[in-house]
Amino acid sequence: MTDSSSGQIDHVLIEDRLFPPPAEFSQQAVFSSQAQYESMYRRAAEQPEEFWRSEALEHLHWFEPFDEVCRWDPPHAEWFVHGKTNASYNCLDRHIDAGRGDRTAIIWEGEPGDERTLSYAELRSEVSKCAAGLKQLGISAGDVVSIYMPMTPELAIAMLACARIGAVHSVIFAGFSAESIADRNNDAGAKLVITADGLYRRGKVLPLKETVDEALAKSPTVEHCLVLRRVGNDDVSMTQPRDVWWHDVVDTQSDDFPAVPMDSEASLFILYTSGSTGKPKGIRHTTAGYNLWAKRTFEWVFDHREDDIFWCTADCGWITGHSYIVYGPLSAGATCLMYEGAPNFPAEDRFWELVEKYKVTILYTAPTAIRAFIKWGDEHVDKHDLSSLRLLGSVGEGINPEAWMWYHKKIGNERCPIVDTWWQTETGGIMMSPLPGITATKPGSCTRPLPGVVPVIVDETGNAVDDQHGGMLCISKPWPGMLRGIWGDEDRFVQQYWSTVPGKYLTGDNARKDSDGYYWIMGRIDDVINVSGHRLSTIEVESALCSHEAVCEAAVVGRPDELKGQAIAAFVTIRDREPDEALRQELLLHVRKQIGALAQPDDLRFTSTLPKTRSGKIMRRLLRDIASGNEVAGDTSTLEDLTVLAKLRDDEG
């Protein structure tokens, strides 16, 4: 333990299991030796210009060459200056030009079980038609288009059609309220909204168009609304001449709309993400750098091969869907599975049914889903043949070691490497991750940075902390996929990401580097608790709780305490046991044994669910309010239902 007045964070949980990559995996992998990674990492760090020049020339199509690799005027970076490319060209035409147009791009399954397959050539035809339709609706390069759609191929088609003509898409997750859509339309000055007549969710139809109508009443910049018929809902109201049907405006167009050469730094998209306070911010990504980053990180981390069927279970409403359903895999010429619906419809085995049916080889999902599967029970997994899988990925939150172990054993059958990928909406693509052919993994660690990523962990004064100590994770060098700004709010961009440690990008996460050079994300900076002068990371206490067999999920927060500064409050969901006082004591003792008396929660409450953001992250901020507001109820055996509270917080991203 260290002197915590230094601003470092104490690291208390020991995890020493190590899983080397299986030999048969390594033999055929993209990265097959540690030396190969080391030398690539060194080149990217020491000669970034040369490294990224050759990457960009090899991996993107250039209508006009760039004349400078990176212009870095902190905090502003421009990549591949003055070059002209097009992300839709890189995702589609490039493969067709190379004679690979017949390859399957997207295999799609709707929630009701309907299926569609699109080859690269077919996808380009659809994208071209949509691009021409957008043009007809008066959209041109630089205009913002909001997309509020179900996870249908048309969602990806709409994104790529925007890219094809240089319009800037702003995808809004189709669970957001009318208020949130209007806020985003107004902040971005959107000219068009693309939506559908409805969305299937657990067998029911959600009236998307109705929600959009409500938003449009408060979105003065929007001129048109393009509506896809997805559910056959004839009740939708179409306001003339504002609203038009996809089948009238898109399906009737010619299918050879050429991609428009776009400046490397032209905005490709905005994606709104909630900040720790206040209104959501529109993270702005640009064309060439983002596209290259999405493609290369996809190929490196997922060890992409010709015969892979890649399934990223995210929604395109989040950055994970942007980078690893659309831009990354399609630029790489991969075959992706895209699924529209819920993981537990019609039953809790839907994901495993899909893996078996489509022989998915790579599965990329989130800890929140993994913890739900654990709770639903192994029998749903056992019904299916998952032998096609060769690689598993995780993203979105820290994965507690026990959830990692379940994923490894139950889904990966102890033969599939797990890539725990750390990154953010702002970073555009994966920043730290195991490389599955070479990295020995440790449950709960995102291991090491990818080539081009130079992390540093600092204390509150901006000085680098020693290995083994936690501090604020920063990135010290620009990388191609980095955000270029917050839409319309330069001050917030500078203030939020670049002021704490001048010249370095502040991620907002805490992390620690161990003696092997592996990184461990310790949660958001706000999630550190200070107990009797010891600064602890809540995720370590949560992981200790999760290592008890009865615990499914745990969220730990601090609440003010006169004696200790902060006291530890834990919220726990359980399985296969009665939530009684005996179990409560058992769990407290368990943490004490795992970490020490210091980390033993002062309050421990059982709950049936934890409040989560719409992208599935536990909302510790809300739990902090609960923990400090009301005193712990005397009767600890009742399960609280915190979903109600989550529902109240509609706008969390």
Q: Which residue has 């003792």 as its token pair?
A: 589
State the Cα–Cα distance between residues 298 and 290, nearest whole angstrom. 12
Nearer to ligand WTA, 213 or 402 (CB): 402
Question: What's the closest the beta carbon of residue 319 comes to ligand WTA, in angstroms?
Answer: 5
Burial of residue 583 (number of CB atoms within 10 Å: 0-12, 13-18, 19+) = buried
Nearer to ligand WTA, 271 or 389 (CB): 271
Nearer to ligand WTA, 396 or 601 (CB): 396
State the Cα–Cα distance between residues 69 and 48, nearest whole angstrom. 9
> Of the candidates 317, 329, 396, 616, which one interacts with ligand WTA according to CB under 6 A?
396
397 is in an annotated binding site: yes
204 is in an annotated binding site: yes
Using CB under 6 A, which residues numbered 298 to 357 contact ligand WTA?
A: 318-320
State the Cα–Cα distance between residues 296 and 482, nearest whole angstrom. 14
Question: Could you tell me if 371 and 404 are in contact, meaning their C-beta atoms sit under 8 angstroms apart?
Answer: no
211 contacts: CB under 8 Å, gap ≥ 6: 148, 177, 178, 181
Question: What's the closest the beta carbon of residue 534 comes to ligand WTA, in angstroms?
Answer: 22
460 contacts: CB under 8 Å, gap ≥ 6: 7, 472
- Nearest partner of 432 among 446, 443, 444, 419, judged by Cα: 446
The amino acid occupying position 264 is S
Question: What's the closest the beta carbon of residue 455 comes to ligand WTA, in angstroms?
Answer: 13
Nearer to ligand WTA, 51 or 300 (CB): 300
499 is in an annotated binding site: no
Question: What's the closest the beta carbon of residue 417 comes to ligand WTA, in angstroms?
Answer: 15
Nearer to ligand WTA, 133 or 396 (CB): 396
Question: What's the closest the beta carbon of residue 472 comes to ligand WTA, in angstroms?
Answer: 12
Nearer to ligand WTA, 264 or 445 (CB): 445
Name the residue number minimizing CB distance to ligand WTA.
425
422 is in an annotated binding site: yes
61 is in an annotated binding site: no
425 is in an annotated binding site: yes
Question: What's the closest the beta carbon of residue 422 comes to ligand WTA, in angstroms?
Answer: 4
> Of the candidates 10, 243, 263, 397, which one interacts with ligand WTA according to CB under 6 A?
397
- Nearest partner of 338 among 511, 13, 24, 108, judged by Cα: 108
Give the per-residue contact string, 496-515, with ligand WTA (x = CB under 6 A; - = no): -----------xxx------
Nearer to ligand WTA, 211 or 323 (CB): 323
Question: What's the closest the beta carbon of residue 527 comes to ligand WTA, in angstroms?
Answer: 9
3-state secondary structure labels for all residues of 317-373 = CCHHHHHHHHHHHHHCCCEEEEECCCCCCCCCCHHHHHHHHHCCCEEEECHHHHHHH
281 binds ligand WTA (CB under 6 A): no
195 is in an annotated binding site: no
For residue 285, the cross-strand partners are: 269
- Nearest partner of 451 among 69, 33, 40, judged by Cα: 40
| 66-73 contacts, C-beta under 8 A, 24 or more apart | 66/264, 66/288, 70/478, 70/480, 72/478
Nearer to ligand WTA, 89 or 173 (CB): 173
The radius of gyration of the chain's CA atoms, rounded to the nearest angstrom, is 24
Nearer to ligand WTA, 101 or 280 (CB): 280
Cα separation values, 7 from 447, 464, 535, Å: 23, 11, 8
State the Cα–Cα distance between residues 123 and 126, nearest whole angstrom. 5
Nearer to ligand WTA, 66 or 324 (CB): 324
Question: Could you tell me if 364 and 395 are in contact, meaning their C-beta atoms sit under 8 angstroms apart?
Answer: yes
Q: Which residue has 């049914």 as its token pair?
A: 353
Nearer to ligand WTA, 89 or 423 (CB): 423
> Of the candidates 85, 195, 219, 273, which one interacts with ligand WTA according to CB under 6 A?
273
Using CB under 6 A, which residues numbered 376 to 395 contact ligand WTA?
A: 395
Q: What angle do CA 587, 593, 598 make, to 5 degrees?
A: 90
Nearer to ligand WTA, 8 or 615 (CB): 615
Using CB under 6 A, which residues numbered 79 to 118 contact ligand WTA?
A: none
Q: Which residue has 């004349």 as its token pair?
A: 67
Using CB under 6 A, which residues numbered 402 to 461 contact ligand WTA?
A: 420-425, 446
Burial of residue 322 (number of CB atoms within 10 Å: 0-12, 13-18, 19+) = buried
> Of the candidates 354, 458, 521, 599, which one interacts with ligand WTA according to CB under 6 A?
521
108 contacts: CB under 8 Å, gap ≥ 6: 115, 116, 117, 118, 152, 153, 337, 338, 339, 340
Question: What's the closest the beta carbon of residue 364 comes to ligand WTA, in angstroms?
Answer: 11
Nearer to ligand WTA, 150 or 434 (CB): 434
Question: What's the closest the beta carbon of residue 399 comes to ligand WTA, in angstroms?
Answer: 7
36 is in an annotated binding site: no
Please, what sign has the CA dihedral across residues 400, 401, 407, 412? positive
State the Cα–Cα distance between residues 55 and 108, nearest whole angstrom. 31
Tokens of 425: 């909406």
Residue 260 phi, psi dihedral angles, 5° rounding: -85, 125
State the Cα–Cα distance between residues 181 and 218, nearest whole angstrom. 9
Number of residues that bind ligand WTA (CB under 6 A): 21
Question: What's the closest the beta carbon of residue 29 comes to ligand WTA, in angstroms?
Answer: 21
Give the per-residue contact string, 596-635, with ligand WTA (x = CB under 6 A; - = no): -------------------x--------------------
Question: What's the closest the beta carbon of residue 338 comes to ligand WTA, in angstroms?
Answer: 18
516 is in an annotated binding site: no
> Of the candidates 524, 614, 620, 624, which one interacts with ligand WTA according to CB under 6 A?
524
Question: What's the closest the beta carbon of residue 59 comes to ligand WTA, in angstroms?
Answer: 22
Question: What's the closest the beta carbon of residue 521 comes to ligand WTA, in angstroms?
Answer: 4
User: Annotated binding residues for Mg(2+), as ranges?
Assistant: 548, 551
Give the binding site for ligand WTA (CB under 6 A). Answer: 273, 318-320, 395-398, 420-425, 446, 507-509, 521, 524, 615
User: Annotated binding residues for ATP, as ranges?
Assistant: 396-398, 420-425, 509, 524, 535
User: Annotated binding residues, as ranges?
Assistant: 201-204, 320, 344, 396-398, 420-425, 509, 524, 532, 535, 548, 551, 592
User: Annotated binding residues for CoA, as ranges?
Assistant: 201-204, 320, 344, 532, 592
